[in-house]
Amino acid sequence: MPFPTLPPLIAEALVEQGYADPTPVQAAVLEDEARGRDLIVSAQTGSGKTVAFGLAMADRLLEVGGNNGGAGAPLALVIAPTRELALQVSRELTWLFAKAGGRVTTCVGGMNASLERRALAQGSHIVVGTPGRLRDHLERGALDLSALQYVVLDEADEMLDMGFREDLEEILDATPAERKTLLFSATMPKPIVALARRYQKDAVRISTVGDDRGHGDISYQMVAVSPADIEHAVINLLRFYEAETAMLFCATRDNVRHLHAALVERGFAAVALSGEHSQNERNHALQALRDGRARVCVATDVAARGIDVASLSLVIHVEVPRDAEVLQHRSGRTGRAGKKGTAVLIVPYPRRRRVEGMLRQARVAAEWVPVPSADAIRERDRERFLATLTAPAEASGEDRALAAQLVDQMSATDLALALIQSRKSQMPEPEELIDLSARAAPSGPVGATGSRGGQDDAPRDRADFDDAIWYRMDIGRRHNADPRWILPLLCRRGHVSRNQIGAIRIAPNETYFQLVRTAEAKFRDAVRRTANPGSEDESGITIEPSPSAPPAMGGPRKGPSHNNRGEAQPPYSPLAGPSAAKPPYPKPRKKPAHQR
CA–chain centroid gap for 160, Å, is 20
Q: Containing H/E element for 316?
A: strand 312-317
CA dist., res. 193 & res. 339, Å (int): 32
8 A C-beta contact, residue 351 and residue 251: no
Confidence band of 450 (pLDDT split at 50, 70, 90): very low
d(CA 505, CA 98): 74
Instruction: Give the integer Cα–Cα distance in Å for 345 and 334.
Output: 14
Q: Looking at residue 346, what DSSP letter applies?
A: E
**What is the DSSP secondary structure assignment for residue 216, as one 8-state letter?**
T
How far is Cα 116 from Cα 102, in angstroms, rounded to an integer?
17
pLDDT, average across residues 288-307? 84
Cβ atoms 102, 150 nearer than 8 A: no
Task: Tell me how far apart the alpha carbons of residues 242 and 405 are, in angstroms, rounded to a whole number.
Answer: 32
Give the residue ranges of DSSP H helices in 363-509. Answer: 374-390, 397-409, 412-425, 437-440, 483-494
CA distance 75 to 581: 53
Which range is least confidently modeled, 27-36, 143-152, 399-408? Answer: 399-408
C-alpha separations of 323 from 44, 310, 327, 344, 569 in Å:
16, 26, 6, 15, 20
Distance CA 505, CA 555 (A): 8
Q: Are 340 and 368 in contact (CB under 8 A)?
A: no
Instruction: Give residue 470's pLDDT band: very low, low, confident or very high (50, 70, 90).
Output: very high
Q: Where are the alpha helices (DSSP H) in 247-373?
A: 253-266, 279-291, 324-331, 352-362
CATH homologous superfamily of 218-375 equals: P-loop containing nucleotide triphosphate hydrolases (3.40.50.300)
Least confident window among 140-154, 250-264, 425-439, 483-497: 425-439
Residue with the bigger pLDDT between 479 and 423: it is 479
- Asked if 418 contacts 410 with a C-beta cutoff of 8 angstroms, the reply is yes
In terms of average pLDDT, the best of 231-245, 315-329, 526-540 is: 231-245
84-90: Cβ within 8 A, 24+ apart: 84/282, 84/286, 84/305, 84/306, 84/307, 84/308, 85/154, 85/155, 85/305, 85/306, 86/128, 86/129, 86/130, 86/306, 87/306, 88/50, 88/306, 88/308, 89/50, 89/128, 89/154, 90/128
Give the pLDDT mean for 166-188: 88
Q: Burial letters for 263-300: b for 16+ Cβ neighbours within 10 Å, e otherwise? A: bbebebebbbbbeebeeeebeebbebbeeeebbbbbbb
The phi and psi torsions of 221 (rounded to 5 degrees) equal -135, 155
pLDDT at 7 over 60: yes
Mean pLDDT of 532-556: 78
pTM over 0.75: no
- The answer to whether the CB of 338 falls within 8 A of the CB of 311 is no
Q: Say whether pLDDT at 234 is over 90.
A: yes
Backbone angles phi, psi at 166, to 5 degrees: -65, -40
- Which ranges constitute the DSSP H helices of 48-205? 49-68, 83-97, 113-122, 131-139, 156-161, 165-173, 190-199
Quick check: 558 pLDDT over 60?
Answer: no
Taking the CA atoms of 13, 210, 328 and 38 in sequence, report the sign of the dihedral they define.
positive
Scanning 391-534, the segments in alpha helix (DSSP H) are: 397-409, 412-425, 437-440, 483-494, 520-529
How far from each other are the two terminal CA atoms of the chain, in whole angstroms? 91
pLDDT value for 268 = 92
pLDDT at 174 (0 to 100): 92
For the chain, the residue count is 596
287: confidence class by pLDDT, cuts 50, 70, 90? confident
306 within 8 A of 85, measured Cβ to Cβ: yes
Topology (CATH level 3) of domain 8-207: Rossmann fold (3.40.50)
Q: How confident is the model at residue 577 (pLDDT cuts 50, 70, 90)?
A: very low
What 3-state DSSP class applies to 582? coil
For residue 74, report the phi and psi dihedrals to the nearest 5 degrees.
-60, 145
Q: In degrees rounded to 5, what are phi and psi of residue 30?
A: -95, -5
Q: What secondary structure does DSSP assign to 115-127, as a single string? A: HHHHHHHH--SEE
